[in-house]
Structure 1
Amino acid sequence: MAGREQNRYAEILLSCIEEKYFKDEIALEHHSFARIISGEMKVVQADRSYLFGPGDTLLFPGNQLSTLIKNPKNGLPYKAIVIFFRTERLKEFYAGNPPHFTQVNNDRIKTYEKHPMLESFFTSLVPYFDLESELPEKIISVKIEEAIAILRALDPNIDNVLADFSQAEKINLVEFMERNYMFNMNMEKFGHLTGRSLTTFKRDFKKAFNTTPQKWLVQKRLELAHRQLSDEGRKPIEVYLETGFENLSHFSFAFKKHFGYSPAVLGFKA
């Protein structure tokens, strides 16, 4: 189905955020292909950040822990067209179109320069969001195939991402958590991303860190925030979202409780 708002079942949707900002921690199961129409989206990952604006096109590989901060800008809401590549559709596509794997392979977000094929494709989707009824399945299938075909024409390495159907395995928990602790995911999601059930995740975590996940995560996030405030000269209002806290007041309270002084003591106002 096609959707106008965030919808976990939609394969083609128009995301529109009119509030001051929208923040979410995600690890999407499926790859997503997006065009930013208006507003701004900041993507914070463990080792880098991205900033996307109007006209930017990106491919977001699945199962990557990321913080998304979406903001209206210049009087316009945040608006983006997003296509989700579900595994079943990708398998069906590649069954008739054998993948070409290359030696270059990474899981980073891919960005694409403006191109007539991209402009034509996203423009063709806009009228569908005015429909009062669901978009016919046949059209969804055709448009998703078109998107994959365009990406394959523009990116010789894209099959390494889209045609990789390997299952997630149990990975090194310590390495994963040290790399991704700043993302405010629930314990079930952390467990899933490390290839564990919730019970196994908590058990393995206790064995590795000798404490509970909740206590360890709060401490690590506060230490990260402290470094950003003291070493990088950032303000509390700039760091709390990127270090796993839901709001500024909770961050300030937790910071003072842990360090014995408020973030303002470092010379910045909240």
Structure 2
Amino acid sequence: MGYQAHYIHPDLKLSRFDDKFYKADVLFEHHLLVWFISGETKIVQGENTFWFGAGDTLLFPRNQLVTVINYPKDGLPHQSAVMHLTPKRLTDFYAKNRVDVKPMPTPAFRTFDRHPLLKSCLASLIPYFDLNESLPDVIAAIKIDEAINILRTIDTDIDHLLANFDEPGKISLTDFMEQNYMFNMTMDKFGYLTGRSLTTFKRDFKKTFQTTPQKWITNKRLELAHYQIREKKRRPSDVYLEVGFENLSHFGHAFKKRFGYAPTELAG
């Protein structure tokens, strides 16, 4: 069995992965607070890779690209409890808790060092997942407000992230694509995140890189894979997902077409 999502409320779910691993390039429309219950998670953001396991808590900011790979571990499936901090919930919360929002650099996901307050918040949620009925909205609202207040208590800068409802503005295409070409996103999404319509994105891309987005992205991924295999001595099977390929066979074919030899030859 693969992925299962048990929603007790539109903003609260229990996720479970039973397969060997699950990989996805994700772009969330709103912030997610995630408690890892079992299994292991690998997150790739830009050139950085992070590992998390049972007991860890993360906040994924909205509109940020990351690659997430979930693994079962120690005979247990990968399980996590997920709370959606939607714009509606946050707008209602900050209407009652007004703050002055300061500009922030591009937000990265945040970790909270297994903080006991967040641990107790998760512990209070777990019994609700055994319900055979939906959780009333009034109770869900109480739990979500509790989580937001805990985040504000342990991270004094969190308001500047959670209370910022601005949409992405027009940014440098070169800088953004150099940092995010390994993510499998539609051209519409790439355009949105750079503050452009699809038509403007394609036009600006052609002007900037003198080629199409797909050709440029594929070439950049192959160059990164080549570097990882040759310089970092990594195996092709450990690299292809991270650089943006979904299939090892397709990766090997594209690699050989680009460089004239198979990735296994370079690794050997």
TM-score by length of 1: 0.93
Of residues 131-140 and 87-96 in structure 1, the stretch that sits farther from structure 2 once superposed is 131-140
CA distance in 2, matches of 1:256, 1:11: 45
8 A Cα contact 1:40 1:72, kept in partner: yes
Give the equivalent residue in structure 2 for 1:239. Answer: 239
Give the equivalent residue in structure 2 for 1:150. Answer: 150
How far the C-alpha of 1:199 sits from its partner, in A, is 1.7
**Uncovered stretches (5+) of structure 2, i.e. residues with no partner:** none
CA distance in 2, matches of 1:194, 1:103: 17
How far does the alpha carbon of each residue in 1:47-101 deviate from its partner, in whole angstroms, 9 at most, with x for none?
3121110100111111111110011111111101111111111111011112265
Give the equivalent residue in structure 2 for 1:113. Answer: 113
Give the equivalent residue in structure 2 for 1:81. Answer: 81
Task: Classify the secondary structure of the residue corresponding to 1:233.
Answer: coil
Task: Classify the secondary structure of the residue corresponding to 2:5.
Answer: coil
Give the equivalent residue in structure 1 for 2:136. Answer: 136
Give the equivalent residue in structure 1 for 2:208. Answer: 208
**Uncovered stretches (5+) of structure 1, i.e. residues with no partner:** none
CA distance in 1, matches of 2:121, 2:173: 41
CA distance in 2, matches of 1:116, 1:266: 48
Give the equivalent residue in structure 2 for 1:53. Answer: 53
Of residues 125-134 and 57-66 in structure 1, the stretch that sits farther from structure 2 once superposed is 125-134
- Deviating above 3 A after TM superposition, structure 1's stretches of 4 or more consecutive aligned residues are 100-106
CA distance in 1, matches of 2:104, 2:173: 26
How far the C-alpha of 1:111 sits from its partner, in A, is 0.9
1:17 aligns with 2:12: no
How far the C-alpha of 1:116 sits from its partner, in A, is 3.0
8 A Cα contact 2:234 2:267, kept in partner: no
Are the structure 2 counterparts of residues 104 and 27 from structure 1 closer, same or farther at C-alpha, using a change threshold of 3 Å?
Answer: closer
How far does the alpha carbon of each residue in 1:89-132 deviate from its partner, in whole angstroms, 9 at most, with x for none?
11110111122657876612211123332122101111222222
Are the structure 2 counterparts of residues 181 and 6 from structure 1 closer, same or farther at C-alpha, using a change threshold of 3 Å?
Answer: farther
Give the equivalent residue in structure 1 for 2:170. Answer: 170
8 A Cα contact 1:105 1:161, kept in partner: no
CA distance in 1, matches of 2:245, 2:106: 29
Question: Percent identity at matched positions?
Answer: 52
How far the C-alpha of 1:166 sits from its partner, in A, is 1.8
CA distance in 2, matches of 1:266, 1:56: 37
- Residue-pair matches, total: 264
Are the structure 2 counterparts of residues 50 and 161 from structure 1 closer, same or farther at C-alpha, using a change threshold of 3 Å?
Answer: same
8 A Cα contact 1:105 1:157, kept in partner: no
Task: Classify the secondary structure of the residue corresponding to 2:185.
Answer: coil
CA distance in 1, matches of 2:164, 2:77: 35
Are the structure 2 counterparts of residues 251 and 56 from structure 1 closer, same or farther at C-alpha, using a change threshold of 3 Å?
Answer: same
Give the equivalent residue in structure 2 for 1:260. Answer: 260
Aligned-residue Cα RMSD (Å) equals 1.8
How far the C-alpha of 1:10 sits from its partner, in A, is 3.0
AA matched with 1:67: T
Task: Classify the secondary structure of the residue corresponding to 1:241.
Answer: coil
Are the structure 2 counterparts of residues 135 and 205 from structure 1 closer, same or farther at C-alpha, using a change threshold of 3 Å?
Answer: same
Are the structure 2 counterparts of residues 227 and 68 from structure 1 closer, same or farther at C-alpha, using a change threshold of 3 Å?
Answer: same
Give the equivalent residue in structure 2 for 1:224. Answer: 224
How far does the alpha carbon of each residue in 1:213-267 deviate from its partner, in whole angstroms, 9 at most, with x for none?
1111100000000000001100001100000000111111110111111011113
CA distance in 2, matches of 1:239, 1:158: 34
CA distance in 1, matches of 2:256, 2:63: 34
8 A Cα contact 1:169 1:194, kept in partner: yes
8 A Cα contact 1:58 1:112, kept in partner: yes
